[in-house]
A and B are shown apart, each in its own frame.
Chain A
């Protein structure tokens, strides 16, 4: 599908994409945490893989997706409930992008520091 729309359409596309990505992560996360119920060894084997730098950076993307999905979800609720939510939906979306971008950047810096420190 080709998106040539204005802000609202990008907001919709990003909301859907982040939502599907979060569902995929939720399934993976629940599967691997529950491995503890089978055995500690099983859990640790999976966790060794997650300790790789690539997976740690991956978590930054998960956090970024959750932050965007949460804030944009609040924007949708504001549009449902209040007149000003619809009037200022574009401003609210730029606010959403700014806050989730900033939070993701801070999470990325924190993660890189930890990787370099060998944590």
Chain B
């Protein structure tokens, strides 16, 4: 992990080019995520109660629209990479043992990777439909 505060210092400290690229990525993705994620929270948590925003029909209707598919997928990918890299910094700081650190990383990447693939497949295979239970409840 690079602890430098300025790009010039970060470049001087970086042990490798990828490490410097990650340092830049954390700043750029973080800036974009501020708007994407706070917008997402405002639209889902603040504007309406989650019994409404979390209802299956609401989500199916929303995620059937390409613009929201893209919006949510951007959050998934950017937050996923940003979060995984942040977790990697933590593992490198707190697990001194090389072998243990290696397996902790393998476990982290496997679990997170599986869930991100699951999310991407779910998002792009979702078919617009009417939820059965709700359709019965409303005459």
Contact = CB atoms under 8 A, between A and B. Distances in A.
A102 interface: no
A34 B7 contact: no
Contact of B56 (A44, A50, A114): A44
Contacts of A16: 86, 89-90
B122 A37 contact: yes
Interface of B: 5-7, 27, 30-31, 33-34, 37-38, 41, 45-46, 49-52, 54, 56, 59-60, 63, 76, 79-80, 83-84, 86-87, 89-90, 94, 111-112, 115-116, 118-119, 121-123, 125-126, 131-133
9 nearest A-B residue pairs (beta carbon):
A34-B122, A37-B122, A23-B83, A30-B119, A119-B49, A73-B30, A70-B34, A19-B86, A114-B49
Interface residues of A, number: 40
B58 to A, nearest CB: 11
23 contacts: A19-B86, A23-B83, A23-B87, A26-B80, A27-B112, A30-B115, A34-B122, A36-B60, A36-B126, A37-B122, A43-B56, A44-B133, A47-B56, A50-B50, A63-B41, A70-B38, A73-B30, A74-B34, A76-B27, A80-B7, A81-B6, A86-B5, A107-B46
A31 B119 contact: yes
Contacts of A19: 83, 86-87
Most buried by B among A1, A19, A38: A19
Contacts of A37: 121-123, 125-126
Nearest to B33: A70
Interface of A: 1, 16, 19-20, 22-23, 26-27, 30-31, 33-38, 40, 43-44, 47, 50-51, 56, 59, 63, 66-67, 70, 73-74, 76-77, 79-81, 86, 107, 110, 114, 119
Contacts of A51: 51
Nearest to A114: B49
Given A31-B119, A77-B30, 8 more contacts: A16-B86, A19-B86, A37-B125, A47-B56, A73-B31, A77-B27, A86-B5, A119-B52
A33 B59 contact: yes
